């Protein structure tokens, strides 16, 4: 069996439902990300996994990706298991897992691996799960001989751009500073404009507007990952905040920002 197939099987056997791979290139590295020090020396290939997250439209004041168990943990565990299997097969080589807090531009590696197309909202769009999938990867110094795929772009229907309430998405690209998702996680006091935006969005974490406007997200398949479907909590409240801070995608940000957002929403 070719090494490429053996490696991809390790991901599938670890419960990662969709996977692929591409060549490693220096230009995939996001400048200034601390975890870059974990990259293996002489990296050659990237194994990429997708972790679909749609569990049905169950949300109250949290964006869809944060109503489930923290994907950093869930995907992280699956990637760790895959790395153990890979290490058994290829003991001479290094396998380093990353998810989100990654020096790798994850949308770019998923595109290069042929796992979907690039949406105007900057997200990877897949056939089955729309863009409602997280991305994680394993970087290795083993040359698995992947051929890179050409990037396919979406149909450019313009619905995500038209729907973005702040103009963060526009014909000229994306401006992070005025993205609602960005300031839902920004530390400190929000400006009056940001506060009003957060209030009208009604979410204490994230934003789903450009995601839900995309026609490819009209009927995504429910995730096959049971750790996500078994643990849904659509609402963050003053009462459950301590419990949710233990295993939600927003846990890394700390309670202060979440409490600030809740109090902004309460003032409605
Ligand atoms: C910082 C960050 C944010 C910031 C800034 C986002 C930004 N676009 O700059 C904020 C907080 C705003 C954010 C919001 C969201 N994020 Co975010 N974010 C990240 C993070 C950690 C880094 C992104 C980054 O800086 N990339 C580097 C820059 C250079 O890349 P870029 O500008 O996006 O462009 C790259 C690709 O899009 C691609 N590309 C773009 N155009 C083109 C054109 C061509 C021709 C080609 C070949 C490639 C290409 O190549 C570029 C260079 O590598 C990634 C995880 C990661 N490590 O990648 C998650 C990540 C991108 N985010 C993710 C998600 C889910 C979201 C939200 C949907 C969450 C939410 N519901 O609120 C929103 C969506 C907002 C939006 N429309 O972008 C997912 C995306 C999954 C997917 N299916 O695509 C990721 C991959 C996390 C994960 N592990 O799953 N995010």
Per residue in 62-72, pLDDT tens?
Answer: 999 999 999 99
**How far does the centroid of ligand 1 lie from the alpha carbon of residue 209, in Å?**
15
Q: Looking at 36-45, 51-60, 115-124, 186-195, which range is the least confident one?
A: 51-60
What does the pLDDT read at residue 57?
A: 79
Q: Looking at ligand 1, which residue's alpha carbon is closest to its atom 49? A: 108
- pTM (predicted TM-score): 0.96
The secondary structure of residue 251, as a DSSP letter, is G
The rounded percent of the chain whose pLDDT value lies above 70 is: 100
Q: What is the DSSP letter of 44?
A: -
Residues with CB under 6 A from ligand 1: 30, 63, 65, 99-100, 102, 104-108, 111, 118, 121-124, 131, 133-135, 151, 174, 176, 179, 181-182, 185, 206-208, 210-211
Confidence of residue 268 (pLDDT cuts 50, 70, 90): low
Please give the share of the chain, as a percent, with pLDDT higher than 90.
98
C-alpha 130/C-alpha 134 separation (Å) is 11
Enzyme catalytic residues: 100
Checking if the pLDDT of 58 tops 80, the result is: no
Q: What is the dihedral of CA 47, 120, 59, 232, to 10 degrees?
A: 0
Q: Please report the atom of ligand 1 found closest to the CA of residue 99.
A: 89
Instruction: Give 29's strand partners.
Output: 104
Instruction: State how far the Cα of 246 lies from the Cα of 258, in Å rounded to an integer.
Output: 13
Tens digit of each residue's pLDDT (9 = 90 or more) over 164-221? 999 999 999 999 999 999 999 999 999 999 999 999 999 999 999 999 999 999 999 9
Q: Are 197 and 181 in contact (CB under 8 A)?
A: no
């Amino acid at each position: 069996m070719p090494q490429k197939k053996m490696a991809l099987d390790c991901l599938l056997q670890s419960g990662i439902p969709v996977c692929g791979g591409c060549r490693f290139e220096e230009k995939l590295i996001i400048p200034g990300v601390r975890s870059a020090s974990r990259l293996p020396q002489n990296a050659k290939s990237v194994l990429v996994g997708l972790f679909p997250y749609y569990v049905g439209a169950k949300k109250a004041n949290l964006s869809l990706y944060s109503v489930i168990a923290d994907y950093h943990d869930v995907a992280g565990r699956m990637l760790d298991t895959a790395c153990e299997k890979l290490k058994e097969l290829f003991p001479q080589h290094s396998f380093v897992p990353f998810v989100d807090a990654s020096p790798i531009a994850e949308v770019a590696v998923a595109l290069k691996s042929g796992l979907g197309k690039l949406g105007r909202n900057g997200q990877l769009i897949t056939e089955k799960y729309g863009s409602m999938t997280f991305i994680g990867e394993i970087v290795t110094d083993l040359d698995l001989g992947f051929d890179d795929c050409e990037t396919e772009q979406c149909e450019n229907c313009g619905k995500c751009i038209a729907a973005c309430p702040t103009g963060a998405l526009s014909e000229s690209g994306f401006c992070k500073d005025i993205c609602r998702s960005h300031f839902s996680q920004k530390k400190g006091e929000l400006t009056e404009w940001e506060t009003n935006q957060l209030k009208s969005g009604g979410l204490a974490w994230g934003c789903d507007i450009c995601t839900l406007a995309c026609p490819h997200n009209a009927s995504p398949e429910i995730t096959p990952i049971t750790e996500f479907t078994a643990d849904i909590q659509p609402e963050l409240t003053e009462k459950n905040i301590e419990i949710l801070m233990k295993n939600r995608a927003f846990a890394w940000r700390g309670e202060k920002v979440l409490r600030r957002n809740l109090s902004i929403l309460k003032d409605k």
